[in-house]
Amino acid sequence: MFPDLTRDDVFRIETRRLWLRWPTAKDIPAIVTLAGDRAVAEMTAGIPHPLDRRAVDEFLIKVRGANSAGTGLTLALARRESPGSLIGLIGLAGAEATPHLGYWLGQPWWGNGLMSEAADALVHAFFAYTEGERLAVSALPENRASRRVIEKAGFRWTERRSTPSPARGGARDLDWFALDRADWAGRQTVARPVPDLALAS
């Protein structure tokens, strides 16, 4: 799915306020703390609470493997002034016809538009650097902040369906959204900043 450019762990995307870079073992404590926060975990269908270190270790091995293989791209979010300090994660998973966008942001950074900035950059990278035709994303109906991120990125609501949630021991209703290449391309006619893709030297 993703080209060789993204398969090296020095790859990053730079936006106005953020670095999106490969997650590393040094990020594990921050992931455990921030994603393990009940307020964060409960706004997702997949993050268990409490979140233990072993689950994060396994997750990191899995997503770094997908990054290396080009079958997905999961990136750590860090503020430009502190690129080593993770504040959230964003990724595209699944090599099937419609990869799925997922993300979370640590609670101290909510409400500042950072996830919208990150989502816009990763969606742009997907359509600009792969041949993919469609992206999907889901959100809990009550997660209004996530829905704003999704809508600002250009996704359109498609359906609400009950989805198994192993982290919750049952199923949860999720609203699903999609973005096609044609719709994304139409949005590019508006003057918007293009994120910088870089390989660290």
What is residue 95's predicted lDDT score, i.e. its pLDDT?
62
What is residue 93's predicted lDDT score, i.e. its pLDDT?
93
pLDDT < 70: residue spans in the chain: 95-96, 166-169, 189-195, 197-201
User: Which region holds residue 154: left if phi is over 0, alpha if psi is between -120 and 50, else beta?
Assistant: left
Statement: 4-199 belongs to CATH 3.10.590.10: no
C-alpha torsion sign, points 126, 178, 161, 98: negative
Tokens linked to 141: 């109906």
| Closest to 132 in 3D by CA, of 90, 177, 96 | 96
What length is written for the chain? Answer: 201
Interaxial angle between packed helices 114-129 and 144-152, expressed in degrees from 0 to 180 and rounded to the nearest 10: 40
Q: Is 126 helix (H, G, I), strand (E, B) or coil?
A: helix
What is residue 201's predicted lDDT score, i.e. its pLDDT?
44
pTM, entire model: 0.91
